[in-house]
Structure 1
Amino acid sequence: MPQFINDPTLPKPSFPGSHLVIDDHYVFISGLTVADLSNGDAARGDIREETRLIMRELERMLVQEEGSLADVVRVDIHLANLKNISNVDAIYAEFFEPGRYPARTCTESPTICGGASIEITLMAKRAKRD
């Protein structure tokens, strides 16, 4: 049976959804932007720093569920300006082992919630439970 979880360190979603949905096999994390993070305001407008903060938060959320970024199988990235993809890729790649990158989609979404430049969502395989 899926668990629907809101992370107590993040603002409650302003949409009808959950921060995380966990089932027996996967962890699904809703899209995050710097607008969702308490330390995100200072980074807004700096695509590299926005990417770094969001990836660190996603990593923290996975660790909290006894996982890691090594367990990620799919990532969706939405950029306010697709021309920023090379800056995003430079930071994004730092969070994964070379050659072991998740399947990924990247789209341009000119209006991202909270005036952010990037939103990232992911799906990760859950660790085997005894």
Structure 2
Amino acid sequence: MKKIINSDKAPAPIGPYNHSVMAGDLLFISGQIPFNQAEEKLITSGIQDETTQVMENLKFIIEEAGLTFENVVKATIFIRNMEEFTLINEVYARYFSPATAPARECVQVEKLPRNVNIEISMICHK
């Protein structure tokens, strides 16, 4: 059985999907972009600010499910410019302990929703 988990703090979905779905002991989190729900604005002030907002949006959803970043087992990062990989990693690393960081891939794509520079999705284990 699946359970839908949404957070009022994360940006509302812009399509026919939910923030996340709990299926058994796994939480599948939809890709998050750098939209600040509280201020109702897209963050475009640089890849580090954008990555921080994405990670905070993911945190809102993870916490709504009663979990933490320690529960993340897989992350997928989509970026528009691989030249910003190091800057993204600097922010991303603040959210994980190196010893327990999740598996991950990072791919460069041509275009993302709302023309953002980064989108991240995650899978957590309860």
TM-score by length of 1: 0.86
Give runs of aligned pairs for residues 25-44 of structure 1, distance below 5 A: 25-35=25-35, 37-39=37-39, 41=41, 43-44=43-44
Counterpart position of 2:86:
86
The structure 1 segments of at least 4 consecutive aligned residues displaced by more than 3 Å after TM superposition are 5-12, 35-42
CA distance in 1, matches of 2:39, 2:74: 26
Output the amino acid matched with 1:44. T
Deviation at 1:22, TM superposition (A): 0.7
3-state secondary structure, aligned to 2:91 = helix
Counterpart of 2:73?
A: 73
Q: 1:97 to 1:109 in 2, by over 3 A?
A: same
> Which piece of structure 1 moves more, 44-53 or 75-84?
44-53
The structural deviation recorded for 1:52 is 0.7
Call closer, same or farther: CA 1:11–1:40 in 2, change over 3 Å: closer
Residue of structure 1 in register with 2:61 after alignment? 61
In the TM superposition, what is the alpha-carbon distance from 1:92 to its structure 2 partner? Answer: 0.3
State, as a whole percentage, how many aligned pairs show the same letter: 25
Q: CA RMSD in A?
A: 1.9
Per-residue CA deviations over 1:23-80 (Å, capped at 9, x if unaligned) read 2211111000014744474631510011111111211211111100000000000001
Deviation at 1:19, TM superposition (A): 1.2
Asked if 1:20 is matched to 2:20, the reply is yes
Cα 1:69–1:99 shift into 2, 3 Å: same
**Structure ranking higher in strand proportion:** 2
Comparing 114-123 with 42-51, greater Cα deviation is found at: 42-51
* 2:8 corresponds to 1:2: no
Secondary structure in 2 matching 1:67: coil
Does the C-alpha gap of structure 1 residues 11 and 69 become closer, same or farther in structure 2, counting only changes over 3 Å?
closer
Matched AA of 1:122? M
* Pairs within 5 Å for 1:107-122: 107-122=107-122
Question: Quick one: structure 1 residues 37 and 105, their matched pair in 2 at CA, closer, same or farther if it must change by over 3 Å?
Answer: farther
Give aligned pairs, total: 126
Bigger Cα displacement from structure 2, 41-50 vs 97-106: 41-50
Specify the SS of the correspondent of 2:100.
coil
